[in-house]
Amino acid sequence: MNRNERIEKIRRYYKDNGFIVAELNNEVVGFCNYIDTNKFTQGISDIDCELLALYVKPDLKYNGIGTKLFQFVINEFKSKNKTKMILWCLKDNEPSKKFYTKMGGKILKERTIEIGEKNYCEVGFIYNI
C-alpha cells in the first residue's frame, strides 16, 4: 500500500467512525475515538457501541477534559438511540480503571490481547446509556 492509499484508508476510517478532539489554546490536548457498532467486541449481543480510545495529555489530566470527552461520546450515542456501550482498558492501568468506574462503568469481562508479540490482559467496562 502506497502513502496515498494509507492516507485515504485513515481518512475513511475517521469519516466512518466517531472522532472528537479537545483543544486548549489551539493545541490538541485530548481525543476520543468511538464506533456505533460492536464489531471489535464479539460474543456480547446486546452491546451496540464502543468507545475505542480516550486520551488526555498527561500534564492536563484531572482537569475535566476526559469527563467532557466521555460525556460527548455518550451524548452522541444517545442521539443515535444506542443503549449499551463497552470500552476496554488494560487491567493494570489503575488510574484509567478508576476514571471509567467513576463514569459509571462496571467491569463485565476480561480478555487477552497481543501487542508487539506480548500478551496483555484487558477489562471490558459496560455502560447503560
Question: How far is residue 96 from each of residues 8, 30, 81, 90, 93, measured CA to CA in Å?
Answer: 32, 14, 27, 8, 6
Largest CA distance in the chain: 43
Side chain identity, residue 29:
V
Strands 84-90 and 106-115: unpaired
Q: What is the mean pLDDT of residues 82-104?
A: 96
Q: Could you give the CA distance from residue 1 to residue 51 in angstroms, rounded to a whole number?
A: 28
Span 34-53, pLDDT tens digits: 998 877 777 777 899 999 99
pTM of the model: 0.86
More confident residue, 12 or 78: 78
Quick one: cell of 112?
487477552
Q: What pLDDT, on the 0 to 100 scale, is given for residue 103? A: 98
Looking at the predicted structure, is the pLDDT value of residue 58 above 80? yes
